[in-house]
Amino acid sequence: MKKKWSKVLALVLAAAMALSLAACGGSGSSAPAGTEKTEEKTEAAGGTTAAPAASAEAGDATIPDFPTGDVSGIKIGFAFRHGSNDTYMTTYYKHAAAYAKEKGVNLVLLDAVDDVTKQTQQVQDLIQQQCDVIVIWPVNSESSVAQAMQVQAAGIPCMTANTDVISDGDQYVTCYVGPSNYQEGYQTGTAACEELKAKGVTAPKILYIDGKSGQTTCDERKAGMQTAVEEAGGSFIDAQLCDGLREKAQQITENWLVKYKAGDFDAIMCFDDNSAVGAYNAAKAAGRDKEFPIYGAATGDASIVEGYIAKGLIGYNALQSPLIDSESAINMAANIALGYQPSQQKYYIETPIINQDNVDELYVSWSDSE
Protein backbone atom coordinates (compact mmCIF):
# COMPACT_ATOMS: atom_id res chain seq x y z
CA MET A 1 0.00 0.00 0.00
CA LYS A 2 2.85 2.37 0.67
CA LYS A 3 4.20 4.42 -2.22
CA LYS A 4 6.06 7.71 -2.40
CA TRP A 5 4.26 10.95 -3.23
CA SER A 6 6.86 11.89 -5.84
CA LYS A 7 6.36 8.60 -7.70
CA VAL A 8 2.57 8.50 -7.83
CA LEU A 9 1.48 12.12 -8.09
CA ALA A 10 0.15 11.50 -11.59
CA LEU A 11 -2.01 8.67 -10.25
CA VAL A 12 -3.35 10.86 -7.48
CA LEU A 13 -4.27 13.66 -9.89
CA ALA A 14 -5.93 11.25 -12.29
CA ALA A 15 -7.93 9.66 -9.51
CA ALA A 16 -8.92 13.07 -8.19
CA MET A 17 -10.23 13.99 -11.63
CA ALA A 18 -12.11 10.71 -11.85
CA LEU A 19 -13.85 11.57 -8.60
CA SER A 20 -14.92 14.90 -10.18
CA LEU A 21 -13.74 16.78 -7.13
CA ALA A 22 -11.50 19.36 -8.76
CA ALA A 23 -10.42 22.15 -6.45
CA CYS A 24 -12.22 25.48 -6.69
CA GLY A 25 -11.65 28.64 -4.73
CA GLY A 26 -10.61 29.18 -1.14
CA SER A 27 -10.38 31.79 1.58
CA GLY A 28 -13.99 31.20 2.45
CA SER A 29 -15.20 31.34 -1.16
CA SER A 30 -15.91 28.71 -3.77
CA ALA A 31 -15.01 31.01 -6.67
CA PRO A 32 -12.13 29.81 -8.87
CA ALA A 33 -8.82 31.60 -8.45
CA GLY A 34 -8.02 31.40 -12.18
CA THR A 35 -6.12 29.07 -14.44
CA GLU A 36 -3.65 31.26 -16.24
CA LYS A 37 -0.02 30.21 -16.43
CA THR A 38 2.83 32.69 -16.14
CA GLU A 39 5.46 31.93 -18.76
CA GLU A 40 7.79 34.91 -18.66
CA LYS A 41 11.48 34.63 -17.90
CA THR A 42 12.92 36.84 -15.21
CA GLU A 43 16.33 38.36 -14.58
CA ALA A 44 18.03 37.03 -11.48
CA ALA A 45 20.62 38.76 -9.33
CA GLY A 46 24.09 38.73 -10.77
CA GLY A 47 22.82 38.69 -14.35
CA THR A 48 21.76 35.04 -14.35
CA THR A 49 18.58 34.42 -16.32
CA ALA A 50 16.24 32.15 -14.42
CA ALA A 51 12.80 30.85 -15.23
CA PRO A 52 10.41 28.47 -13.52
CA ALA A 53 11.00 24.89 -14.58
CA ALA A 54 8.27 22.74 -16.12
CA SER A 55 5.28 22.93 -13.83
CA ALA A 56 2.60 20.63 -12.47
CA GLU A 57 -0.98 21.77 -12.13
CA ALA A 58 -2.07 22.34 -8.54
CA GLY A 59 -5.57 23.50 -7.84
CA ASP A 60 -6.62 26.46 -9.94
CA ALA A 61 -3.19 27.99 -10.64
CA THR A 62 0.16 26.56 -11.65
CA ILE A 63 2.82 26.23 -8.96
CA PRO A 64 6.23 26.54 -10.64
CA ASP A 65 8.80 23.85 -10.10
CA PHE A 66 12.14 24.76 -8.59
CA PRO A 67 13.91 27.33 -10.84
CA THR A 68 16.48 26.13 -13.33
CA GLY A 69 18.91 29.02 -12.77
CA ASP A 70 21.59 29.61 -10.14
CA VAL A 71 20.03 29.92 -6.66
CA SER A 72 23.21 29.90 -4.58
CA GLY A 73 23.00 33.63 -3.87
CA ILE A 74 19.41 33.87 -2.69
CA LYS A 75 18.13 33.86 0.89
CA ILE A 76 14.63 32.71 1.82
CA GLY A 77 13.25 33.64 5.22
CA PHE A 78 10.52 31.44 6.66
CA ALA A 79 8.54 32.52 9.73
CA PHE A 80 7.08 29.14 10.72
CA ARG A 81 4.09 28.62 12.96
CA HIS A 82 5.20 25.62 15.03
CA GLY A 83 7.86 23.05 14.13
CA SER A 84 6.78 20.41 16.64
CA ASN A 85 3.06 20.97 17.20
CA ASP A 86 1.81 17.87 15.37
CA THR A 87 2.94 15.26 12.86
CA TYR A 88 2.04 17.38 9.84
CA MET A 89 3.82 20.53 10.99
CA THR A 90 6.87 18.59 12.14
CA THR A 91 7.15 16.75 8.83
CA TYR A 92 6.64 19.97 6.87
CA TYR A 93 9.25 21.83 8.96
CA LYS A 94 11.91 19.15 8.66
CA HIS A 95 11.29 18.51 4.98
CA ALA A 96 11.41 22.22 4.10
CA ALA A 97 14.86 22.44 5.69
CA ALA A 98 16.09 19.26 3.99
CA TYR A 99 14.64 20.20 0.59
CA ALA A 100 16.16 23.69 0.66
CA LYS A 101 19.54 22.21 1.57
CA GLU A 102 19.26 19.70 -1.26
CA LYS A 103 18.51 22.50 -3.72
CA GLY A 104 21.35 24.71 -2.47
CA VAL A 105 19.10 27.46 -1.10
CA ASN A 106 19.94 29.48 1.99
CA LEU A 107 16.77 28.98 4.05
CA VAL A 108 16.48 30.85 7.35
CA LEU A 109 13.78 28.84 9.11
CA LEU A 110 12.49 30.35 12.37
CA ASP A 111 9.99 28.59 14.64
CA ALA A 112 7.46 30.76 16.51
CA VAL A 113 6.12 27.77 18.53
CA ASP A 114 2.59 29.18 18.16
CA ASP A 115 3.48 32.52 19.78
CA VAL A 116 2.21 35.57 17.85
CA THR A 117 4.60 37.97 19.59
CA LYS A 118 7.57 35.71 18.87
CA GLN A 119 6.57 35.38 15.23
CA THR A 120 6.31 39.15 14.86
CA GLN A 121 9.82 39.50 16.27
CA GLN A 122 11.09 36.77 13.96
CA VAL A 123 9.60 38.49 10.90
CA GLN A 124 11.42 41.67 11.90
CA ASP A 125 14.60 39.62 12.29
CA LEU A 126 14.18 38.20 8.77
CA ILE A 127 13.72 41.72 7.44
CA GLN A 128 16.93 42.80 9.14
CA GLN A 129 18.71 39.83 7.56
CA GLN A 130 17.71 41.25 4.15
CA CYS A 131 16.10 38.07 2.87
CA ASP A 132 15.15 38.06 -0.81
CA VAL A 133 11.68 36.76 0.04
CA ILE A 134 9.92 36.07 3.33
CA VAL A 135 7.41 33.24 3.79
CA ILE A 136 4.93 33.32 6.67
CA TRP A 137 2.91 30.43 8.04
CA PRO A 138 0.73 32.55 10.34
CA VAL A 139 0.27 31.76 14.00
CA ASN A 140 -2.76 34.02 13.75
CA SER A 141 -4.17 34.97 10.36
CA GLU A 142 -5.25 38.45 11.47
CA SER A 143 -2.04 39.32 13.32
CA SER A 144 0.04 38.28 10.32
CA VAL A 145 -1.48 41.07 8.23
CA ALA A 146 0.68 43.55 10.12
CA GLN A 147 3.68 41.25 9.68
CA ALA A 148 3.14 41.05 5.92
CA MET A 149 2.70 44.82 5.75
CA GLN A 150 6.08 45.31 7.44
CA VAL A 151 7.73 42.94 4.97
CA GLN A 152 6.24 44.77 2.00
CA ALA A 153 7.22 48.15 3.47
CA ALA A 154 10.82 46.88 3.63
CA GLY A 155 10.71 46.22 -0.12
CA ILE A 156 10.77 42.43 0.29
CA PRO A 157 8.24 40.12 -1.37
CA CYS A 158 6.07 38.31 1.16
CA MET A 159 4.15 35.08 0.64
CA THR A 160 2.08 32.89 2.93
CA ALA A 161 2.22 29.10 3.13
CA ASN A 162 -0.29 26.46 4.27
CA THR A 163 -2.35 29.02 6.22
CA ASP A 164 -3.28 32.38 4.72
CA VAL A 165 -3.77 35.82 6.21
CA ILE A 166 -7.31 37.16 6.34
CA SER A 167 -8.48 38.73 3.09
CA ASP A 168 -7.61 42.26 4.28
CA GLY A 169 -3.97 41.22 4.11
CA ASP A 170 -3.98 40.02 0.49
CA GLN A 171 -2.72 43.42 -0.66
CA TYR A 172 0.53 42.86 1.24
CA VAL A 173 1.09 39.27 0.13
CA THR A 174 2.53 38.30 -3.26
CA CYS A 175 0.70 34.97 -3.16
CA TYR A 176 -0.45 32.08 -1.01
CA VAL A 177 0.77 28.50 -1.57
CA GLY A 178 -0.86 25.52 0.10
CA PRO A 179 -4.13 23.61 0.28
CA SER A 180 -7.49 25.15 -0.54
CA ASN A 181 -8.87 24.74 2.94
CA TYR A 182 -12.39 25.71 1.89
CA GLN A 183 -12.37 23.12 -0.86
CA GLU A 184 -11.06 20.42 1.48
CA GLY A 185 -14.01 21.05 3.79
CA TYR A 186 -16.47 21.24 0.93
CA GLN A 187 -15.15 18.08 -0.74
CA THR A 188 -15.27 15.96 2.39
CA GLY A 189 -18.57 17.45 3.50
CA THR A 190 -20.17 16.69 0.14
CA ALA A 191 -18.84 13.13 0.07
CA ALA A 192 -19.97 12.56 3.66
CA CYS A 193 -23.48 13.86 2.96
CA GLU A 194 -23.76 11.65 -0.13
CA GLU A 195 -22.77 8.66 1.99
CA LEU A 196 -25.34 9.60 4.63
CA LYS A 197 -28.02 10.05 1.96
CA ALA A 198 -27.30 6.54 0.67
CA LYS A 199 -28.13 5.36 4.20
CA GLY A 200 -31.43 7.23 4.19
CA VAL A 201 -30.31 10.42 5.97
CA THR A 202 -31.65 13.31 3.86
CA ALA A 203 -31.28 16.22 6.30
CA PRO A 204 -28.16 15.39 8.31
CA LYS A 205 -27.78 16.76 11.83
CA ILE A 206 -24.07 17.33 12.38
CA LEU A 207 -21.86 17.86 15.43
CA TYR A 208 -18.76 19.80 14.39
CA ILE A 209 -15.35 19.89 16.09
CA ASP A 210 -13.55 23.07 15.04
CA GLY A 211 -9.85 23.84 15.33
CA LYS A 212 -8.29 27.02 16.65
CA SER A 213 -9.75 30.51 16.74
CA GLY A 214 -8.01 33.02 14.47
CA GLN A 215 -6.82 30.48 11.88
CA THR A 216 -8.06 30.82 8.30
CA THR A 217 -7.36 27.10 7.85
CA CYS A 218 -9.99 26.26 10.46
CA ASP A 219 -12.46 28.95 9.41
CA GLU A 220 -12.31 27.96 5.73
CA ARG A 221 -12.62 24.22 6.34
CA LYS A 222 -15.62 24.82 8.57
CA ALA A 223 -17.22 27.10 5.94
CA GLY A 224 -16.69 24.45 3.26
CA MET A 225 -18.15 21.64 5.35
CA GLN A 226 -21.06 23.74 6.54
CA THR A 227 -21.92 24.77 2.98
CA ALA A 228 -21.93 21.13 1.87
CA VAL A 229 -24.16 20.13 4.80
CA GLU A 230 -26.60 22.97 4.14
CA GLU A 231 -26.74 22.08 0.44
CA ALA A 232 -27.75 18.59 1.54
CA GLY A 233 -30.58 20.05 3.61
CA GLY A 234 -28.79 19.57 6.92
CA SER A 235 -27.26 21.76 9.61
CA PHE A 236 -24.64 21.97 12.33
CA ILE A 237 -26.55 21.48 15.59
CA ASP A 238 -23.45 22.07 17.73
CA ALA A 239 -19.85 23.22 17.11
CA GLN A 240 -16.96 23.59 19.52
CA LEU A 241 -13.27 24.50 19.32
CA CYS A 242 -10.68 21.88 20.26
CA ASP A 243 -7.64 24.15 19.71
CA GLY A 244 -6.16 21.48 17.47
CA LEU A 245 -5.74 19.07 20.41
CA ARG A 246 -6.78 15.43 20.14
CA GLU A 247 -7.39 15.21 23.88
CA LYS A 248 -9.72 18.20 23.84
CA ALA A 249 -11.60 16.80 20.82
CA GLN A 250 -12.06 13.58 22.79
CA GLN A 251 -13.35 15.52 25.81
CA ILE A 252 -15.79 17.49 23.65
CA THR A 253 -17.13 14.26 22.18
CA GLU A 254 -17.43 12.63 25.60
CA ASN A 255 -19.61 15.53 26.72
CA TRP A 256 -21.70 15.33 23.55
CA LEU A 257 -22.30 11.61 24.05
CA VAL A 258 -23.79 12.40 27.45
CA LYS A 259 -25.91 15.24 26.05
CA TYR A 260 -27.04 13.61 22.79
CA LYS A 261 -28.68 10.21 22.56
CA ALA A 262 -28.82 7.85 19.57
CA GLY A 263 -30.73 9.52 16.76
CA ASP A 264 -30.17 13.06 18.03
CA PHE A 265 -27.39 13.52 15.48
CA ASP A 266 -26.22 11.71 12.35
CA ALA A 267 -22.43 12.27 12.22
CA ILE A 268 -19.48 14.08 13.73
CA MET A 269 -17.43 16.20 11.34
CA CYS A 270 -14.01 17.55 12.32
CA PHE A 271 -11.65 20.18 10.98
CA ASP A 272 -8.81 17.63 10.69
CA ASP A 273 -7.86 14.00 11.12
CA ASN A 274 -6.30 14.45 14.55
CA SER A 275 -9.51 15.77 16.08
CA ALA A 276 -11.41 12.99 14.30
CA VAL A 277 -9.24 10.45 16.14
CA GLY A 278 -10.14 12.16 19.41
CA ALA A 279 -13.82 11.88 18.53
CA TYR A 280 -13.42 8.22 17.60
CA ASN A 281 -11.59 7.41 20.83
CA ALA A 282 -14.47 8.89 22.85
CA ALA A 283 -17.09 7.03 20.81
CA LYS A 284 -15.16 3.78 21.16
CA ALA A 285 -14.82 4.19 24.93
CA ALA A 286 -18.57 4.82 25.18
CA GLY A 287 -19.37 1.79 23.04
CA ARG A 288 -21.03 4.01 20.43
CA ASP A 289 -18.43 3.88 17.64
CA LYS A 290 -20.76 1.85 15.36
CA GLU A 291 -23.65 4.26 15.88
CA PHE A 292 -22.52 7.18 13.69
CA PRO A 293 -19.70 8.01 11.22
CA ILE A 294 -16.85 10.44 11.90
CA TYR A 295 -15.29 12.56 9.16
CA GLY A 296 -12.27 14.87 9.01
CA ALA A 297 -11.73 17.73 6.55
CA ALA A 298 -8.14 16.70 5.80
CA THR A 299 -5.52 14.12 6.73
CA GLY A 300 -1.81 14.79 6.88
CA ASP A 301 -0.67 12.00 9.20
CA ALA A 302 0.41 8.65 7.72
CA SER A 303 -0.29 6.82 10.98
CA ILE A 304 -3.91 8.02 10.95
CA VAL A 305 -4.35 6.98 7.32
CA GLU A 306 -3.04 3.51 8.13
CA GLY A 307 -4.51 3.10 11.61
CA TYR A 308 -7.95 4.66 11.20
CA ILE A 309 -8.99 5.58 7.63
CA ALA A 310 -7.77 2.34 6.03
CA LYS A 311 -9.66 0.39 8.69
CA GLY A 312 -12.87 2.37 8.20
CA LEU A 313 -12.82 3.81 11.72
CA ILE A 314 -12.80 7.35 10.28
CA GLY A 315 -14.54 8.24 7.02
CA TYR A 316 -13.76 10.71 4.24
CA ASN A 317 -10.78 13.06 4.45
CA ALA A 318 -8.86 15.13 1.91
CA LEU A 319 -5.39 13.62 1.46
CA GLN A 320 -2.82 16.37 2.05
CA SER A 321 0.92 15.70 1.81
CA PRO A 322 3.29 17.78 3.96
CA LEU A 323 6.07 16.97 1.49
CA ILE A 324 4.23 18.42 -1.49
CA ASP A 325 3.01 21.32 0.66
CA SER A 326 6.51 22.29 1.81
CA GLU A 327 8.22 21.74 -1.53
CA SER A 328 5.59 23.83 -3.31
CA ALA A 329 6.21 26.73 -0.92
CA ILE A 330 9.99 26.55 -1.31
CA ASN A 331 9.66 26.27 -5.10
CA MET A 332 7.52 29.39 -5.29
CA ALA A 333 9.69 31.33 -2.84
CA ALA A 334 12.85 30.52 -4.81
CA ASN A 335 11.23 31.67 -8.04
CA ILE A 336 9.99 34.90 -6.45
CA ALA A 337 13.46 35.55 -5.02
CA LEU A 338 14.77 35.41 -8.58
CA GLY A 339 12.20 37.92 -9.80
CA TYR A 340 9.29 35.69 -10.83
CA GLN A 341 5.93 37.47 -10.71
CA PRO A 342 3.04 35.15 -9.76
CA SER A 343 0.02 35.57 -12.00
CA GLN A 344 -2.48 34.56 -9.29
CA GLN A 345 -3.10 35.30 -5.63
CA LYS A 346 -3.83 31.72 -4.59
CA TYR A 347 -1.88 28.58 -5.57
CA TYR A 348 -3.37 25.31 -4.37
CA ILE A 349 -1.81 21.88 -4.00
CA GLU A 350 -3.90 18.84 -4.93
CA THR A 351 -5.85 17.19 -2.10
CA PRO A 352 -7.87 14.22 -3.41
CA ILE A 353 -10.56 12.65 -1.23
CA ILE A 354 -9.64 9.42 0.52
CA ASN A 355 -11.59 6.82 2.50
CA GLN A 356 -11.46 3.08 3.15
CA ASP A 357 -12.72 2.27 -0.34
CA ASN A 358 -9.94 3.99 -2.28
CA VAL A 359 -7.12 4.01 0.26
CA ASP A 360 -5.16 1.30 -1.57
CA GLU A 361 -5.34 3.29 -4.79
CA LEU A 362 -4.59 6.77 -3.45
CA TYR A 363 -2.61 6.36 -0.26
CA VAL A 364 1.03 7.26 -0.40
CA SER A 365 3.50 7.47 2.45
CA TRP A 366 5.26 10.75 3.15
CA SER A 367 7.62 9.34 5.78
CA ASP A 368 10.53 10.44 3.60
CA SER A 369 11.10 12.35 0.36
CA GLU A 370 12.79 9.72 -1.74
- Position 318 pLDDT exceeds 50: yes
Helix 87-103, helix 322-337: angle, nearest 10: 40
Q: Is the dihedral of CA 240, 236, 346, 165 positive or negative?
A: negative
pLDDT for the residue numbered 214: 84
Q: Over the stretch 350-364, which tens digit does the pLDDT of each residue have? A: 999 999 998 888 765
Domain coverage including residue 233: 181-319
State whether 173 and 186 are in the same domain: no
State whether 313 and 330 are in the same domain: no
The whole model's pTM is what? 0.78
Q: Over the stretch 111-130, which tens digit does the pLDDT of each residue have? A: 999 999 999 999 999 999 99
Q: Over the stretch 240-280, which tens digit does the pLDDT of each residue have? A: 999 999 999 999 999 999 999 999 999 999 999 999 999 99
In whole angstroms, what is the distance from residue 55 CA to residue 37 CA?
A: 9
pLDDT for the residue numbered 183: 96
Q: pLDDT tier at 298 (50, 70, 90 boundaries)? A: very high
Instruction: Print burial letters for 31-64: b (CB count within 10 Å at least 16), e (below 16).
Output: ebbeeeebeeebebeeeeebbbeeebebbbbbbb
Q: Which amino acid type is present at position 138? A: P
For residue 6, how many other CB atoms are within 10 A of its CB?
14
State whether 189 and 270 are in the same domain: yes
State whether 314 and 206 are in the same domain: yes
How large is the greatest C-alpha to C-alpha distance in the chain, in angstroms? 69
Q: What are phi and psi of 207, to 5 degrees?
A: -95, 130
Q: Over the stretch 132-149, which tens digit does the pLDDT of each residue have? A: 999 999 999 999 999 999
Q: Does residue 359 belong to any structural domain of this protein?
A: no
State whether 62 and 190 are in the same domain: no
State whether 212 and 344 are in the same domain: no
